[in-house]
Amino acid sequence: MGAGYRYGQRTMNGLATPAFAPLAADEHDGRRFEGSRKVRLGDVTPDGRLRLDSLTRYTQDVSDDDTVDAGLDVEPGWVVRSTVVDELIPAALAEVLTITTFCSALGKRWAERRLSVVGDAGARYEVATLWVCMDPHSSRPVALTPQFLALYGSAAGDRRVRARLQVPKSTDLNPGRIEDDRWPLRVADFDVFGHVNNAAYWSAIEQWPETLPAWPRRARLEYREEVTSQEVMITRASVGADVYFWWSQGQAVAAAASVAKLPDGLYEPA
C-alpha cells in the first residue's frame, strides 16, 4: 500500500531514469493512523543517525498496528513488493518520531501505503510501500477485498499505482565501479515464516555508508524473489552519484535497490 516518479526526464548512460517528484500527499478524506517511536541506542549508527533498517522496523510495526486497529481480516495476506524512503532530515538518538500512515493509491491486486515520519528534533522521512494482496494458500496475488476497500479506499481517492519494477538490471547500466560481496545471513534475519525480514536488506545497505549520496536522498528497495539459499551475493555499482545494489542467489536476483540524491526543496516544510 505510484511512488513519486515522472518518467523520461533524465537519462544516464543512455538509460531512461525517472525524475523526482514528491511521494503522494495526504489530501483525501479517509482512514489515517498515527503511532510513535523513540530512537533507541540499538537503532542508530555509531555517529547517532537512525539506520534505514531501524526506520523500516518502525514503519512495519505502525503499519501492522493500523491493520489490527482497523480490524482488517488476516486473510488474504500481504507481501511487500517495494519500498521507497525519502530521507530528508535523519533522526538522531533519543528523538521521538510521530508516524502517520494512510492508503495513498490502489491497484487491482495491490495498494500503496504512505507513511510520514516527523521527529520532535526536526527529523523527517516520507515513505511509500507497495503491498501485494496474496492468497496464503496458493501464494498468488488476489483482488483487493471489499472490506479493504471500505476501510482504506476513500483515503486513496482516484489515485492508481502499478506494481512494475523500476530498479534497472546491472546489465542495463554502465557503472563506474562494481563490486561483489557475500551477504552473510544470520538467524536474526529470518522471521517466523522462515523468510528474510524486509528490514534485513536495508541493514545491508547500511554496511557501506561512505558510498551513499548525502541526504536528502531517495532509497528504493524492490523484493523480487524469496531468498532460499544461504549463499547470497550483493553486487554494488556506482553510476555518477547514484548507488545500486542487487542481491542474487545463483542466477536469480532476489532483491534490488537504488539510492540517489534528492533535489533540495522537493517537499514543503512539515
In-domain check, residue 267: no
Cα atoms in the Cβ-side hemisphere of radius 13 Å centred on 58: 32
Give me 244's grid cell.
545500486
Q: Is the pLDDT of residue 30 over 90?
A: yes
Return the higher-pLDDT residue of 231 and 2: 231
Rounded average pLDDT over 202-208: 95
DSSP letters, 166-189, are -SPPGGG---SEEEEEEE---GGG
CA 267 – CA 23 distance, rounded (Å): 9
In-domain check, residue 99: yes
Which range (106-120, 171-185, 224-238, 243-257) has the least confidence? 171-185
pLDDT at 11: 40
In-domain check, residue 32: yes
Q: Is the pLDDT of residue 3 over 80?
A: no
Which range (86-95, 122-131, 169-178, 214-223) has the least confidence? 169-178
Q: Provide the residue range defining the domain that includes 215.
A: 5-261
pLDDT at 240: 87
pLDDT at 18: 52
Q: Which pLDDT band holds residue 61 (cuts at 50, 70, 90)?
A: very high
> For the chain, what's the residue count?
270
Query: What is the chain's alpha carbon radius of gyration, rounded to the nearest angstrom?
Result: 18
Is residue 132 within 8 A of residue 162, CB to CB? The reply is no
In-domain check, residue 215: yes
In-domain check, residue 268: no
Q: Angle 217-220-223 (CA atoms, 0-180°, nearest 5)?
A: 160
Beta-carbon count within 10 A of 263 CB: 9
Q: How many domains does the chain have?
A: 1
- Residue 130 per-residue DSSP state: E
90 prior amide bond cis, ω within 30 = no
pLDDT at 191: 87
Q: Which pLDDT band holds residue 265 (cuts at 50, 70, 90)?
A: very high
Average pLDDT, whole number, for the chain?
91
Pairing of strands 217-223, 140-141: unpaired
- The predicted-structure confidence for 206-239, as pLDDT tens digits, reads as follows 999 999 999 999 999 999 999 988 789 999 999 8
CA 199 – CA 53 distance, rounded (Å): 5
CA 59 – CA 102 distance, rounded (Å): 12
Which residues have C-beta within 8 Å of that of residue 186, sequence separation ≥ 6?
none
CA 114 – CA 108 distance, rounded (Å): 18
Of 72, 95, 213, nearest in space to 150 by CA: 72
pLDDT at 270: 59
In-domain check, residue 266: no
- Residue 226 per-residue DSSP state: -
In-domain check, residue 132: yes
pLDDT at 194: 84
Instruction: Tell me the pTM.
Output: 0.92
In-domain check, residue 180: yes
pLDDT at 98: 98
Q: Which pLDDT band holds residue 155 (cuts at 50, 70, 90)?
A: very high
Rounded average pLDDT over 77-82: 95
Q: Angle 179-183-189 (CA atoms, 0-180°, nearest 5)?
A: 150
Looking up residue 109, the CATH number of its domain turns out to be 3.10.129.10
Which residues have C-beta within 8 Å of that of residue 140, sequence separation ≥ 6?
134
CA 257 – CA 220 distance, rounded (Å): 5
